[in-house]
Structure 1
Amino acid sequence: MNETVLRVARPGEAEALTALTRRSKGHWGYPPEVLDRLASAGLLTVAPAVIRDGRVVVAERGGVPVGWYQLTGTPPHGELADLFLDPEVIGTGLGRTLWEHAVASARGAGFRTLTLESDPYAEGFYLRMGAERVGEREVAPGRVLPVLRVAVLEV
């Protein structure tokens, strides 16, 4: 089994991370037309400019990206803007590894809390990781996303 390496993303990986994101979202049974609509709205697209700020972290195995996350915001309150896994590694513990790395990175950057909008299929994962549901946001008619928050610094 290949060792997992976590590292800062490179702008040249934007296309590969976009493809991984679409595969990850598709794993949950979203039809291609929904994925196309999300991509058209820029929601499943990773731009090189987003990667350049150094807050996108990639998990790779054998030199191939298999997951990634992005932190945004300004301390003390940040956002876990994205966390995606290639379907082949869902259920292997890599999600927990990325989550723990994101929380530690947020703590090191001076964040006190992280908020995230979760895909409904991923909410259980985030709750198991210690996040709590603090609300919801309607992103389209009939499409509501859970809003979750986790404390990353002790007060």
Structure 2
Amino acid sequence: MEIKEASTNDNEVLTEITKKSKAYWGYSEEQILKWSDNLTISKDYIENNFVFKLVNNNEIVGYYSFIIKEEKNIILDNLFILPEYIGKGFGKYLMIDFLNRMKNKNFEKITLDAEPNAENFYIKIGFKKIGEFETSIKDRFMPIMEMNL
């Protein structure tokens, strides 16, 4: 397994991983279609942000991306893995890589909007819930999470 910087040519694979991973949590095909724009990773997105892919046996099985919000703050924008790898340590592997990249960089805080089903994953990593907001699905709330570095 290795993690390396994604190229713009990875956009379709990363989009597919994002949609499959989201669907893993029981969202309907109709809902995934409604979210299609938000779940699409474009070539421009890869070019303009920090995107790292997880390669296992020559297959991209997951990725994460982050945005530098302000000089001292980072947003973990995406972290997705293929459903068959969920619960097997691959997400944690990605998070450890991400956190290691943030060390010694003068950043003070990481924030993210968590998939509600993944909230406990982020809590185990060391994030704290600082708020939430209602999504396009009635009575579904996205946790806003934060970690101080």
CA shift, 1:108, in A, is 4.3
**Partners in 1 of 2:2 and 2:113 — Cα distance?**
26
Q: Counterpart of 1:52 in 2: which secondary structure?
A: helix
In structure 2, the residue matched to 1:85 is 81
Cα offset, 1:89, TM superposition: 0.8
**SS at 1:30 equivalent:** coil
Residues 96-115 of structure 1 mapped to structure 2, 5 A cutoff = 96-115=92-111
Q: CA deviation at 1:88?
A: 1.0
Letter in 2 for 1:12: N
CA-CA distance at 1:54 after TM superposition: 5.4
1:145 Cα deviation from its structure 2 partner: 0.4
Match for residue 14 of structure 1 among 8, 11, 15: 11
- Check the 8 A contact 1:6/1:57 in 2, yes or no: yes
Measured in 2, the distance between the counterparts of 1:66 and 1:38 equals: 21
Once the two structures are superposed, the pairs formed by residues 127-142 of structure 1 within 5 Å of their partners are 127-140=123-136, 141-142=138-139
- How many Å separate the matches in 2 of 1:15 and 1:142? 31
The CA deviation string for residues 67-119 of structure 1, in whole angstroms up to 9 with x for no partner, is 10001023301100000010111111111111111112223443211100001
Q: Is the 8 A contact 1:69 1:82 kept in 2?
A: yes
TM-score, length-scaled by structure 2: 0.93
Letter in 2 for 1:147: I
2:71–2:107 Cα contact (<8 Å) kept: yes
RMSD: 1.3
Identity percentage of aligned residues? 29
**SS where residue 65 of structure 1 aligns?**
strand
Name structure 2 gaps, 5 residues minimum. Answer: none
Q: Provide the rounded CA distance (Å) in 1 between the counterparts of 2:6 and 2:105.
A: 17
SS of alignment partner, residue 135 of structure 1: strand
Distance 2:105 2:22 in 1: 28
Task: Name the SS for the 1:33 alignment partner.
Answer: helix
Q: Which runs of 5+ in 1 are unaligned?
A: none
Aligned residues: 147
CA–CA separation in structure 1 for the residues paired with 2:65 and 2:47: 11
CA contact (8 A) 1:9 1:54 kept: no
TM-score between both structures, scaled by the size of structure 1: 0.90
Is the Cα–Cα contact under 8 Å of residues 49 and 66 in structure 2 kept in the other structure?
A: no
Partner residue, 1:95: 91
Question: Where do 4+ consecutive residues of structure 1 move more than 4 Å?
Answer: none
**Alignment check: 8 A CA contact 1:75 1:112 kept:** no
